A and B are shown apart, each in its own frame.
Chain A
Amino acid sequence: MKRTNRILTTLIFIFLYIPMVVLIVASFNTGKDITQFESFTFQQYARLFQDSSLLELLGNSLIVSVLASFCATIFGTVAALGIHNLNPRMRKAAMTLTNIPMTNPDIVTGVSLSLLFVFVGTRMLGQRNSLTFWTLLIAHITFNLPYVILNVMPKLKQMDKSLTDAAMDLGCTPVQAFFRVTLHEIMPGIVSGAIMAFTMSLDDFVISYFVSGLDFVTLPVEIYSYTKKPLQPKIYAMFTLLFLLILVLMIAMNLIQVYGDRKKTQSRTAGI
């Protein structure tokens, strides 16, 4: 039972990673066809770094996701603090509102925002081009906010309420108490919320596809329009590099966590 389970799990992990292997192998291929491996080369990587338009698109994606996740993290943390102290009925309403973008399909969120922007832009403000960088940013902040809130709220709930009382008792104004105590306590939630928001933003295609205009396009949206023609292999190279980057980041986070846990248990046992 246990062994079959383990074999099944391994097979499913292989299933999850096969397409990535295909893409990585394709990035070292001299030929253009993903299905035919001709011979090994690094050329695609060189081409990638010569292609300024591709790098610019990557830059666009990074700008939007960094800005959106940064704004959402600050805005969301402040909001979570407020929501946490609302009366139960208001809190429930606020959480329902927060859950709408989480439960709504991406395509509905994208369509609804694009209709709003077009409606307001063309009909009310009379712009010809109502989908811009700013509408894209607003959309990303909107779907990032729930990730931050849903990560920060549990930390606030877990926090010993008397900690802020203690800080004020010891002379902190409420603002000082937040920065000296509360912030430290909820930091793990803020960080994981920010990371989730950033990755969601960076990889978002569906919502961006509907709300971005012609003058500012992110990488996934452009890849979508590429894929109607045969794909250039340098994009596989970019995929491989991003894969490695995220892999390294995740392993690093993992090691830090494991190390941190070990240190904590050690100091705890030492104290007894």
Chain B
Amino acid sequence: MSKELIRLQDLTVEFDGERILDGINLYFNDHEFLTLLGPSGCGKTTTLRIIGGFLKPTSGTVTFDGKKVNDVPPYQRQINTVFQRYALFPHLDVYDNIAFGLKVAKLPKDEIKRRVSEMLEIVSLKGYENRSVDSLSGGQQQRVAIARALVNRPKVLLLDEPLAALDLRLRKDMQNELKRIQQATGITFIYVTHDQEEALSMSDTVVVMDKGRIQQIGRPEDIYNEPKNAFVADFIGESNILDGVMLQDYKVRFFGRVFDCVDKGFAPNENVDVVIRPEDIDIVPPEQGHLVGTVTSITFKGLNYDIIVEFKGFKWLIQTTDYHGVGSVIGIRLNPEDIHIMHKSEYSGMFGDYSSYSAEYDELTEDAADEEAE
């Protein structure tokens, strides 16, 4: 296990009487790629700004390398930041932007030169030294921003939605690039995003946040496979979430039927949320199914079809590679490992029902989140 670098303890932030962060407890290990994931307004950027020193918590402590740093201003922290829209200095060219921190630190000229050109190589921008930052494309500006932060050899790099302004393909490329740079430099990355795919594919650890509280911390696989509550289940991927009763260990009842499952440790007859991922559901002929339902809509998604199936008034999302026309009657089978059981939470009943689902709806909310993030 690598050593702990930053610890946030009982962090609370209030702004004009509004609680932005509500008792955050979190630690960051050296050399780790950690992502703060959540919808806009969940407090992830606020957390980042506290680590960077741009904001002081209302209460709680921030420890860096074992020392309390609540009152240390940003310019005295061994932390650098890649800002949301890069915040490159428009009056300086690429070289001077990257050299900025080193010049402020009054390093010898030849060392600055050496380190900047080394950095330009890492972000593959050799030959762009004298270009004005306005003339660069989004991806190039992004890389200048990363170089400008990394050239100072910080212990921690904070990245605040760094890819939000890029188009989809560039975003995928930059994800790989960032992961590569992180592994090459071994610097701790703390990454903020509202894009769950980005979070899952890049991070060692994902912290899911909502309403100023941490909802779940874990490895990407664990977060996906074992969501702690309805919010996490819905935010990470798609989920059908149903009311159920845990009869005893490994036995859960929903839709009037008892299913085998792999979860245990619940109180007998405890009311629970049952999560079933749309891609885990097997479609079978009606007579072989655990449940039988009617297809009410179908959307082609490229890799698969998203179909909405009605079971006794409750609509499920199912992902399948086979075509099932609207009105056709299908059966489904659920294997024990496809059924995830969660304790009831404040989020129960808010997510996981696809009655009002439409393909556009999903994209709309994502766009709205993008706009809010800006």
In the assembled complex, how far is the CB of residue B127 from the closest CB belonging to chain A, in whole angstroms?
13
Q: A267-B135, A270-B135 are in contact. Are A169 and B104 (CB under 8 A)?
A: no
A246 interfacial contact with B, CB 8 Å:
no
Do residues A267 and B134 form an inter-chain contact, with CB atoms below 8 A? yes
A38 interfacial contact with B, CB 8 Å:
no
Interface size on B, residues (CB 8 A): 30
Residues of A within 8 A of B79 (CB): 169
Q: Which of A170-202 contact B (CB under 8 A)?
A: 170-173, 176, 180-181, 184-185
B73 to chain A: closest residue by CB:
A168
Q: How far is the CA of A165 from the CA of B101 in the complex (A)?
A: 13
Contact with A along B58-87 (1 / 0, CB 8 A): 000000000000000111000111011101
Residues of A within 8 A of B152 (CB): 170-171
Interface size on A, residues (CB 8 A): 23
Do residues A267 and B132 form an inter-chain contact, with CB atoms below 8 A? yes
B134 to chain A: closest residue by CB:
A268
Do residues B134 and A170 form an inter-chain contact, with CB atoms below 8 A? no
Q: How far is the CA of A160 from the CA of B134 in the complex (A)?
A: 14
Q: How far is the CA of A173 from the CA of B101 in the complex (A)?
A: 12
The secondary-structure label for the interface of chain A is helix
Q: How far is the CA of A272 from the CA of B135 in the complex (A)?
A: 7
Q: How far is the CA of A237 from the CA of B54 in the complex (A)?
A: 60
Do residues B134 and A173 form an inter-chain contact, with CB atoms below 8 A? no
Do residues B90 and A169 form an inter-chain contact, with CB atoms below 8 A? no
Residues of B within 8 A of A165 (CB): 52, 54, 74, 81, 83, 87
A252 interfacial contact with B, CB 8 Å:
no
Do residues B81 and A166 form an inter-chain contact, with CB atoms below 8 A? yes
Do residues B89 and A181 form an inter-chain contact, with CB atoms below 8 A? yes
Do residues B73 and A163 form an inter-chain contact, with CB atoms below 8 A? no
B149 interfacial contact with A, CB 8 Å:
yes
B90 to chain A: closest residue by CB:
A185
Q: Which of A123-149 contact B (CB under 8 A)?
A: none
Q: How far is the CA of A271 from the CA of B144 in the complex (A)?
A: 15
Do residues A166 and B87 form an inter-chain contact, with CB atoms below 8 A? yes
Residues of B within 8 A of A169 (CB): 52, 54, 74-75, 79-81, 83, 149
Q: How far is the CA of A247 from the CA of B85 in the complex (A)?
A: 42
A269 to chain B: closest residue by CB:
B135
Q: A165-B81, A267-B132 are in contact. Are A170 and B91 (CB under 8 A)?
A: no
A264 interfacial contact with B, CB 8 Å:
yes
Q: Which of B253-307 contact A (CB under 8 A)?
A: none
Residues of A within 8 A of B52 (CB): 165, 169
Q: Which of A256-270 contact B (CB under 8 A)?
A: 264, 267-268, 270
Do residues B74 and A268 form an inter-chain contact, with CB atoms below 8 A? no
Residues of A within 8 A of B137 (CB): 271-272
Q: Which are the 7 A-B pairs with shortest beta-carbon distances?
A: A271-B135, A170-B101, A162-B87, A166-B87, A184-B91, A171-B104, A168-B74
**Inter-chain pairs besides A169-B54, A264-B134, 9 sampled, C-beta below 8 Å:** A162-B84, A165-B52, A165-B74, A166-B81, A169-B79, A169-B83, A173-B75, A185-B91, A268-B135
Give the interface of A toward B (CB within 8 A): 160, 162-163, 165-173, 176, 180-181, 184-185, 264, 267-268, 270-272
Give the interface of B toward A (CB within 8 A): 52-54, 73-75, 79-81, 83-85, 87-91, 100-101, 104-105, 131-132, 134-137, 148-149, 152
A-B contact pairs, 21 of them (CB 8 A): A160-B87, A162-B84, A165-B54, A167-B89, A168-B53, A168-B54, A169-B75, A169-B79, A169-B80, A170-B75, A170-B100, A170-B148, A171-B101, A171-B104, A171-B152, A173-B73, A176-B104, A181-B89, A185-B90, A268-B135, A271-B136
